[in-house]
Amino acid sequence: MKVKGVKLNSKLKVDLGLLYTIMLLLAVGVVMVYSASSYYGMFNYKSSTYFLLRQFVFTIIGLIAMFIFSRVDYHKFKDIAWPMYLITPFLLVSVFFFKATKGAQRWIKLGPLSFQPSELAKYVIVIMLATLLVKKGEQIKEFWKGVVPCLILGGIYAILILAQKNLSIASVTMIVTFILIVVAGAKNKQMFGIVLPMLAMAAAGFAFFEPYRRARLMNFINPWQDPAGNGYQLIQSFYALGAGGVTGLGLGQSRQKTLYMPEPHNDFIFAIIGEELGLIGCLVIIGLFIFFIYRGIKIAIEARDDYGTLLATGITSIVAVQAIINIAVVTGSMPVTGVPLPFISYGGSALVINLIAMGILLNISRQTKINKKGV
C-alpha cells in the first residue's frame, strides 16, 4: 500500500490512548446493558441475560470489524464515496416497507435481526463530504459553489432520516455536516452568520410544528405537567440520578430499572449509571468521552493529509455530538430525543457501525506515525 508514494509500514501502531478508551467504554456498555436490562429481559423475554448475550455478540462482531478496518488504508474510501452515497438512500427508503415500531419506521427487519440505515448514513455522509471537500479546496470559501452543494448533500440524507420521524439523527447529520464545512475552511461569517441560524430555525420549526415533538418540547420545560405521559421518562431519569447521589446505590441495585424506566438499557442508560454508580460513575463516563474527543482531535490534526483530517474530524464529531445530546437529554438539559449513548446504549447495528468507524479512525492514527518517524 502506498499513499502519495510513501510505503506504509504495517507494523506501525494505532493510537493506544484512543484504543484503550474505546475498550473501556465497550466494557462499561456490556456491564451496564446487563445491569439495566436484567429485570426488563426477565419480565418480557423470560431471561435476565437476553440483552446481555445479544450485546456481547455484537460487541465481538464489532471488535473484529474494527480490527479489519484499522488495517485498511483509509484513502480507499475515496474510491467508493459516491457509490456509498448513492446506495444509502435506497436503504433509508426501504425502511418504509417494514412494519413500524412505536410509530416510527427506522429499521430493516430480517427475522430476529434488525438494521437501522440511519446509523450507516451518518458515516457515509462524512466519507462523502471529506472526499468532496478535499476536491473543492479553496473553492469552499465561495458560498454558492462551495458551501451550498455540501449542505445539499447532507440535507438530502437529513430529509430522508426526518421522514422516518427521527429528528435527532437528522440533526446530528446536519451538525456534523456543518462542522466539516467549517473545518474545511469555509468563511466563518457565512457559516455562523447565515448557515447556523438557518439550521437552528429549521430544527426549531420541525420540532414545533409536529404535535408530538411540540409536546415533548413543552414537557421538557415542566415534565410534571404530564407526569404519566410525555414527562414520564424524564421524571424517572431525575429520580434515578437523584437516588444515586455521589457514590450510587451499587452495581445492579437500581430501582428505576424495575419497569419504572421504559427500556432502561437504551437511550436512558446514563440515568441507570447515575443511579447505580452515582455522580462519580457519571463523571468517569464523561471523562472517557472527553478523552476520546481529545484523541480524535489530535489524530485529525496530525493526519498526513486533508482527507485524513476531515475524515477523523467527522467520525469524532458523530460520537461527540451524540454523547453530548444523550447526556444533556438524560439530565434534563434539553428536550427528550432518541439519541443513544455511543458504545454504551444497547443496539447491535449502531454498535457494529460505530466500531467500523473506530477502525477507520485508528487507521488514520496509524498513518500519522509515518510523519513522526519519517518512513
Q: What does the pLDDT read at residue 8?
A: 47
The answer to whether residue 100 scores a pLDDT higher than 90 is: no
Segments making up each domain of the chain, as ranges: 16-367
Q: Are 321 and 341 in contact (CB under 8 A)?
A: no
- DSSP H or E segment with residue 282: helix 269-302
Q: What is the pLDDT of residue 86?
A: 94
In the chain, the amino acid numbered 30 is: V
How high does pLDDT run on average in the chain? 88
What pLDDT shows up at residue 47? 87
pLDDT tier, 102 (very low <50, low <70, confident <90, very high otherwise): low
Candidates 132, 119, 129; CA nearest to 176 is 129
Kindly report the pTM of this predicted structure.
0.91
What grid cell was written down for 365? 492514527
**CB-hemisphere CA count at 13 Å for 150?**
35
Query: Is 13 or 150 the better-scoring residue by pLDDT?
Result: 150
The pLDDT > 70 percentage for the chain reads 94
Q: Per-residue pLDDT for 17 more than 80?
A: yes
Pairwise CA distance, residues 335 & 51, whole Å = 27
Which of 359, 362, 325 shows the shortest CA–CA distance to 342?
325
Residues paired with residue 104 on neighbouring β-strands, in sequence order: 101
Looking at residue 371, what is its pLDDT? 44
Confidence band, pLDDT 50/70/90 cuts, at residue 2: very low
Q: C-alpha distances in angstroms, 341 versus 83, 114, 158, 345?
A: 29, 19, 20, 5
Contacts of 213 (CB under 8 A, 6+ apart): 167, 206, 207
Q: Which residues touch 238 (CB under 8 Å, ≥6 apart)?
A: 223, 332
The string of pLDDT tens digits covering residues 36-94 is 999 888 888 888 899 999 999 999 999 999 999 999 999 999 999 999 999 999 999 99
